[in-house]
Amino acid sequence: MPFRTVALTLIWIVGLAVATQAADAPPTKLKLRSTSSPELTPATAVAQPPAGAPATYKEPYTGMEFVFVKGGCYQMGDTFGEFPTDAKVDPHDVCLSDFWIGKYEVTQGEWIKVMGDNPSYNVKCGKDCPVENMTWKDAVAFTNKYRKYSEKSFRLPTEAEWEFACRSGGKKEKFCGGDTLEEIDVNGDISVKKTLPVGSRQPNGLEIYDMNDNASEWCLDWYNLDYYKTSPKDNPRGPAQGWNRVIRGSDGKATDLSARAAFRSGAAPDSQIRTNGLRVLFTPQ
The whole-angstrom separation of Cα 33 and Cα 72 is: 33
Mean per-residue pLDDT for 236-243? 97
> Within a domain: residue 105?
yes
Q: Which of 236, 239, 216, 218 is nearest to 227 (CA)?
A: 239
> Within a domain: residue 30?
no
* CATH number, position 115: 3.90.1580.10
The whole-angstrom separation of Cα 172 and Cα 272 is: 32
The whole-angstrom separation of Cα 76 and Cα 183 is: 21
Question: Does 26 score more than 70 pLDDT?
Answer: no
Mean per-residue pLDDT for 129-142? 97
Q: How confident is the model at residue 184 (pLDDT cuts 50, 70, 90)?
A: confident
> Within a domain: residue 220?
yes
Q: How confident is the model at residue 251 (pLDDT cuts 50, 70, 90)?
A: low
Tell me which of 155 and 51 has the higher pLDDT. Answer: 155
> Within a domain: residue 268?
yes
The whole-angstrom separation of Cα 221 and Cα 244 is: 9
CB contact at 8 A, 282 and 154? yes
Lowest mean pLDDT among 37-41, 99-103, 127-131, 168-172: 37-41
Tell me which of 27 and 51 has the higher pLDDT. Answer: 51
Total-model pTM: 0.81
Q: Which of 46, 227, 249, 63 is nearest to 156 (CA)?
A: 249
> Within a domain: residue 24?
no
Lowest mean pLDDT among 31-45, 109-123, 149-163: 31-45
> Within a domain: residue 26?
no
**Total domains in the fold of the chain:** 1
HSE-CB for 3 with a 13 A CA cutoff = 10
* Residue 92 domain boundaries: 3-15+41-282
> Within a domain: residue 154?
yes
> Within a domain: residue 23?
no
